[in-house]
Chains A and B, each alone.
Chain A
Amino acid sequence: MSFNETKMENQTPQSFSAPRHWIAPEELNSSYWADSKNVEKRGQEFHDKPVEAIALIDKLDTKGLARREFLTIMGASMAMAGFACARRPVHKIIPYVVKPDEVTPGIANYYASSDPETGAGLLVKVREGRPVKLEGNPDHPVNRGKLSARQQSAILDLYDPERLQDPQTVDRATGKKSVATWADVDARVVAQLKAAGNGKVRVLSGASVSDSSRRLVGEFLSAFGAGSRWVEFEPLAQDEIVQGQEESYGAAVLPVYRFDSAEAVVSIGADFLGTWPNSVQYASDWAKLRKLDSKKSKTAEMSKTFAFESLMTVTGANSDYRTPIRPGDELKVALALANQLILQQGRSRFAGDGAVRAALESYKPEAVAKEIGFDAAVLAQAADALWAARGKGLVVAGGLESKSKSAVALQNVVNLLNSALENEGQTVDGNAAPVARPSAGFAGVKQLIAEMNAGSVAVLVLHRTNPAFSLPASAGFAEAVKKVGLVIQVSEQWNETSLLSDVVLPDHHALENWGDARIRKGVTSLQQPTLAPIYATRSFQDSLLTWIGQGKLGASGLAARVANAAENTWHDYVVANWKETVFPLAGGSFQAFWETSLRDGVFVQKGVAGAHASARSFRSSALAKTPKYKAESGVKLALYASMAQADGRTSNNAWLQEFPDPISTVTWDNFVAVGPALAKKLGFSANDVAKVQVGSASMEIPVQIQPGMHGEALAIAVGYGRKVAGKVGTGVGVDVFPLVQIEGDSLAYSGLSAQISKTGKFYKLAETQWHHVTENRPIINDITLAEFKKNPAAANHTDPHLRMEDVPTMWSKHEYKGYRWGMAIDLNSCTGCGACVIGCQAENNIPVVGRNNVRISREMHWIRIDRYYSGSAESPDVVFQPMLCQHCENAPCETVCPVLATVHDDEGTNNQVYNRCVGTRYCSNNCPYKVRRFNFFDHWKSYEGSMNLVWNPDVTVRSRGIMEKCSFCIQRVQKARFDRKNKGEKIVDGDIQTACQQTCPTDAIVFGNINDPESRVSKLHADARAFRSLEILNTRPAISYLSKVRNKNGGAAQHHGGEHHG
């Protein structure tokens, strides 16, 4: 890895909108980049000009920016395969005029940056000046080198050909848009800003984790007098947690939870492993206490997780005890649990507290359990487990699916529990959160809407927010905004809100922009551009500075200084701000400090980051508003954020649309999840279309029958049904934001009373998995901790006669003189989050195939997450199994290929040779794991225009008619081999990380050399829990799985048969 930051540093003033290393002077003015031909030239350094490829791509009517390197010859060789002896077309080599020092054609540079949405640390892989992959920054203390599926797929948004490319002016009456120049819009904006009266400017944006941005916006607004406010709004904001914290402890902070020391976890509608903002960190922490070593099985310890949830989430699927409840029951459960612990068992110092007693008294565990319909014993078990682990336990709640009207009350009870259990200050850290920030909840927007209606807003600046889509119509944003003089939207995409704006300004993509992020006290990360802006875009912050400067608006502080300086770019602002605020914490020379921070991507303040928390005292008064217990009935609806789409801002990202939901495996659509019991009652079968009604709002949406859901529960994902998103995202799924209810100053997404009825219509959802039980086949193992302690190998299906070593075989055994590559996957750590799926997609140039092809099972993902249910349909156990090419030693595919296109190499991997394959598909038929993927069409053509820049140059792009599959990231193996061999060394353990392993938050995947007894992978292969899928076939896979172990009482491993949901 070569981090290089100096070029970043010595940027010329105007060069923020031009390439860091210019090859032609005219590139320095941004208009040059508006012309896609020039951009194409730029993309082309040191690649041949692909006569073929361009022709091909033109045929597909995608404009400019054709990818150069391999497609070219791919096209050429295809052509030649057709007409032998055809003369090769003339290709050009276009070298740099002045080659930048740090660019070596063919060798990637990695730049550290960070994700402005979540503040996660990034490593951006850049080839010849073009980012091709996002990975986590291992030096970042929060995400530690790991990224979620969503975070990785941001790279595709960068190259989205439908990004806004020039400033637009919109006629709000007709919605007609027309291209404008930056000069014109700036003039217009500045004039309006000047004209705006005192206190009449508002900025509405998504929540920001950037201190520099916060400071800049603050200073910008200071120019418009008191009352000019910045409003932050996130549909998925966890404002109920913040508010609960404030009521319980006095400070409005989002606490940091320490799952890595939580031996007993109770989640009440909290999907901390799946959809929480920091799920990557929390998952890796949580998994630390789930790792097992069979050698020490006798004394094995493992955390215990309880989940009470209204829909099947990743967290629930991974918990040891999962209890289905109705949406909105979370508060009752929390109170019942508190009642059990504090009143029934008389534990904790709150036992005698009158206020507490008053609040809890009416929530008798039995009564609550009886009403909701689960066994009250589980509450007792949870209470015992928590008490046994007090100080090292954790109770969490929060998230969209538990955000009912009593969400804040729920938080207060959870806080009570954590305080009672002495977890407060241990596993709950109220101090690790950075400076208190506005909660980005509904209150601010509500007030803003009121102000707009009152006509007290002259100029409204919108940034990274889409209220026209994500607010319920009843909020009246659309009407209110009509009364605003000038609405400016700064956005990467043309979206619903653009239609309500006067001026729409194209924003930089995060990878084109500067910035910083602080999501922990003492942890500040930097965001740096990794390529020149592709289009005539300008960052939000640069726009503010430009306006301040041009308009002499008299903003206060740094903004004024920078704006009026000769160098007035956002980059200079960030540097200056760091010099003033961060640098003092470090000392030394600023230049050195800045370059180090830029190289590392993050500055960690010793002693402050991760310092031991101090307990805060719980205020019983917070429970005052707790309602008395009252039994309810009737079907309740929960809206939730899906792993793929969250609030729908990325719905034009094809990778995410085709990302199979970890639980339902549905792609390209949302649906109403209905439990088996309710489905039976209403006569629903899968793919029926239902009519769901909440209050006056109603919509038709396909039904997905979801095991493990309560008999009176419905769940629908938000973020679908975008009306203005682009070719990919528009009209995918159904928009359910209109169902959101306004409860005072907050929004209720859950516990909504709903009616559901049949429509008689039918809609086939594009699922990637059709059958959900293993039919008792030797595919996966799971056992209980007790069984594991007795015999770690308890559940291994491995027939002793089929041990890999001593089975008689008709083949002469393969010899592995040097390395032998293998993999181990710990089913006990895998949470099924699917980060590996996108990691693999980005690394291996895997195209998307679209909804209809997924419907007939033609998805191309090389690694898929198989999800099996066991036990009862009402409350099943769940196992996730990442399934990829097993690289069998006796590979059934190898014997049947007539042209030797799939062969075994002398390092134990099963190679697929694309250029030799003629596509008989015999190998796939003969593969018991069905992990081979056939190109039924030229799927790569689904990458249009600029999207072709995202291809990984080290991996061939596959044409139609050929088979492909997991290669164990052979290109990474080769790179490691070359690097070592050039130094005359051997590859050592850890040199190679496959893409899936690299990003796995829980470190469930380990790759390495089995021939080396010291390597992690060979140790895991030797573990007593290790088994191989379908070992009975004697295919001898190079991948070992480690049995799943559940920390629950009860008998033998659940059988995976069962008739439900076939």
Chain B
Amino acid sequence: MSSPGGSTQSPSKNSFKKQLAVLVAVAAVVILGIAGVNAFPTVSNQGYAPEQPIPFSHKLHAGQYKIDCLYCHGTAEKSAHAGVPSTNVCMNCHKVVKTDSPWIQQLTQAYNEGRPIEWVRIHELPDHAHFVHSRHIKAGVSCQTCHGPIETMDRVYQASALNMGWCMNCHRGDTTPPNVLRAYHPDLKDPKGHAVASVNCTTCHY
């Protein structure tokens, strides 16, 4: 707003600009704030790659030697938990394989002492979210769909966000692997007519 005889720079103009600046600043903070809540999802540890007590390499075992995931994570087909193998599973091979490696020696020692290996947990859902491995495997979801290119990882990291929106994308049929849709949910259809997995709250929360 300029005054009729507004040749001189009136104090009001400055103070008004000040005001405008302040307002803009406030607005910016608010918008960034809201964005931030979504930009840094509080339940996602994506990229988390902690050091493990023994530097077990999936790249070597799963990638190079092509050992089937279920050889070690056997309960994944049967149970909710994929599970970390008990030491005796490692020893099946390492009684004889690579026994000269200091790590394997550590492993063997722990095994003989009956001392469990305390692995650092990477993939972790909140307790109020029940994820059932067996269902997803039976439905044809590959391990990599959620765990990323695990066979290329020397040190395992959390490849996916594992937050709710990420789950929903798949269950709503947006990012679902096609084989899964065809094979396993003939009866469930979304408005667009292609099949989806259940999105009831109690599918996961109970």
> What residues make up the interface of A, taking CB atoms closer than 8 Å to B?
22-25, 45-46, 48, 69-74, 76-77, 80-81, 84-86, 88, 90-99, 104-107, 817-818, 903, 905-907, 909, 911, 913-916, 954-957, 967, 970-971, 974, 978, 981-982
B119 at interface (Cβ–Cβ under 8 A)? yes
CB proximity of B27 to chain A, nearest CB, Å: 21
- Inter-subunit contact B111/A72 (CB<8 Å): no
- Inter-subunit contact A90/B120 (CB<8 Å): yes
Partner of A77, one of B78, B119, B127, B134: B127
Whether A71 touches B40, Cβ cut-off 8 Å, given contacts A92-B120, A818-B187, is: no
Residue of A whose beta carbon sits closest to that of B164: A915
Q: Hey, which chain A residues are within 8 Å of B84, CB to CB?
A: 46, 93, 95
Most buried by B among A95, A957, A970: A95
Q: Hey, which chain A residues are within 8 Å of B117, CB to CB?
A: 94-95
Interface residues of B, CB < 8 Å — how many?
49
- Inter-subunit contact A90/B50 (CB<8 Å): yes
B59 at interface (Cβ–Cβ under 8 A)? no
Whether A91 touches B124, Cβ cut-off 8 Å, given contacts A77-B43, A84-B37, A107-B79, is: yes
Interface stretch of the complex, out of B10-18, B93-101, B170-178, B198-206: B198-206
- Inter-subunit contact A915/B42 (CB<8 Å): no
Whether A956 touches B206, Cβ cut-off 8 Å, given contacts A69-B127, A73-B124, A106-B79, is: yes
Q: How far is the CA of A809 from the CA of B34 in the complex (A)?
A: 39
A interface footprint on B73-113 (CB within 8 Å = 1, 0 otherwise): 00100111101111111000000000000000000001101
Whether A905 touches B200, Cβ cut-off 8 Å, given contacts A88-B124, A970-B206, is: yes
**What 8 A-B pairs have minimum CB-CB distances, sorted nearest first?**
A70-B127, A73-B127, A905-B200, A106-B79, A96-B86, A99-B86, A24-B114, A915-B128
B194 at interface (Cβ–Cβ under 8 A)? no
**How many residue-residue contacts, CB under 8 A, span A and B?**
155
- Inter-subunit contact A84/B42 (CB<8 Å): yes
- Inter-subunit contact A967/B206 (CB<8 Å): yes
- Inter-subunit contact B128/A73 (CB<8 Å): yes
- Inter-subunit contact B42/A96 (CB<8 Å): no
A interface footprint on B179-206 (CB within 8 Å = 1, 0 otherwise): 0000000011000000000101111011
B116 at interface (Cβ–Cβ under 8 A)? yes
Whether A46 touches B81, Cβ cut-off 8 Å, given contacts A98-B88, A905-B201, A967-B206, is: yes
- Inter-subunit contact B120/A80 (CB<8 Å): no
Partner of A91, one of B42, B121, B128, B205: B121
Q: How far is the CA of A915 from the CA of B200 in the complex (A)?
A: 14
- Inter-subunit contact B116/A104 (CB<8 Å): no
Chain B, 4-53, CB within 8 A of any chain A CB: 37, 40, 42-43, 45, 50
Whether A913 touches B201, Cβ cut-off 8 Å, given contacts A80-B42, A99-B86, is: yes
Whether A80 touches B115, Cβ cut-off 8 Å, given contacts A69-B127, A903-B201, is: no
B66 at interface (Cβ–Cβ under 8 A)? no
- Inter-subunit contact B206/A955 (CB<8 Å): yes
Q: Hey, which chain A residues are within 8 Å of B126, CB to CB?
A: 73-74, 76-77, 915
- Inter-subunit contact B87/A77 (CB<8 Å): no
- Inter-subunit contact A974/B206 (CB<8 Å): yes
Q: How far is the CA of A147 from the CA of B78 in the complex (A)?
A: 30
A-B contact pairs, 17 of them (CB 8 A): A23-B116, A25-B114, A48-B124, A74-B126, A94-B116, A95-B86, A99-B88, A99-B89, A105-B81, A106-B75, A106-B81, A909-B202, A913-B205, A914-B205, A956-B205, A957-B127, A971-B206
- Inter-subunit contact B201/A80 (CB<8 Å): no
Q: Hey, which chain B residues are within 8 Å of A955, CB to CB?
A: 206
- Inter-subunit contact A105/B118 (CB<8 Å): no
Partner of A74, one of B120, B128, B187: B128
Q: How far is the CA of A974 from the CA of B127 in the complex (A)?
A: 16
Whether A911 touches B200, Cβ cut-off 8 Å, given contacts A97-B86, A981-B135, is: yes
- Inter-subunit contact A95/B134 (CB<8 Å): no
- Inter-subunit contact A970/B202 (CB<8 Å): yes
- Inter-subunit contact B128/A77 (CB<8 Å): yes
B138 at interface (Cβ–Cβ under 8 A)? yes
- Inter-subunit contact B205/A982 (CB<8 Å): no
B132 at interface (Cβ–Cβ under 8 A)? yes
B125 at interface (Cβ–Cβ under 8 A)? yes
Chain B, 127-148, CB within 8 A of any chain A CB: 127-130, 132, 134-135, 138
Residue of A whose beta carbon sits closest to that of B111: A97
- Inter-subunit contact B128/A98 (CB<8 Å): no
Q: How far is the CA of A369 from the CA of B116 in the complex (A)?
A: 76
- Inter-subunit contact B85/A982 (CB<8 Å): no
- Inter-subunit contact A95/B127 (CB<8 Å): no
Q: How far is the CA of A974 from the CA of B198 in the complex (A)?
A: 12
CB proximity of A867 to chain B, nearest CB, Å: 30
Q: Hey, which chain B residues are within 8 Å of A46, CB to CB?
A: 81, 83-84
CB proximity of A23 to chain B, nearest CB, Å: 6
Partner of B87, one of A48, A69, A95: A95
Q: Hey, which chain A residues are within 8 Å of B115, CB to CB?
A: 24, 97
CB proximity of B120 to chain A, nearest CB, Å: 6
Q: How far is the CA of A906 from the CA of B126 in the complex (A)?
A: 24
Residue of B whose beta carbon sits closest to that of A69: B127
CB proximity of A51 to chain B, nearest CB, Å: 11
Q: How far is the CA of A954 from the CA of B131 in the complex (A)?
A: 11
Residue of B whose beta carbon sits closest to that of A910: B202
Partner of B127, one of A23, A72, A818: A72
Partner of B205, one of A22, A69, A915: A915
Residue of A whose beta carbon sits closest to that of B134: A982
CB proximity of A71 to chain B, nearest CB, Å: 7
- Inter-subunit contact B87/A97 (CB<8 Å): yes
Q: Hey, which chain B residues are within 8 Å of A967, CB to CB?
A: 202, 206
- Inter-subunit contact A911/B202 (CB<8 Å): yes
Whether A911 touches B201, Cβ cut-off 8 Å, given contacts A46-B83, A74-B128, is: yes
- Inter-subunit contact A92/B206 (CB<8 Å): no
Residue of A whose beta carbon sits closest to that of B121: A91
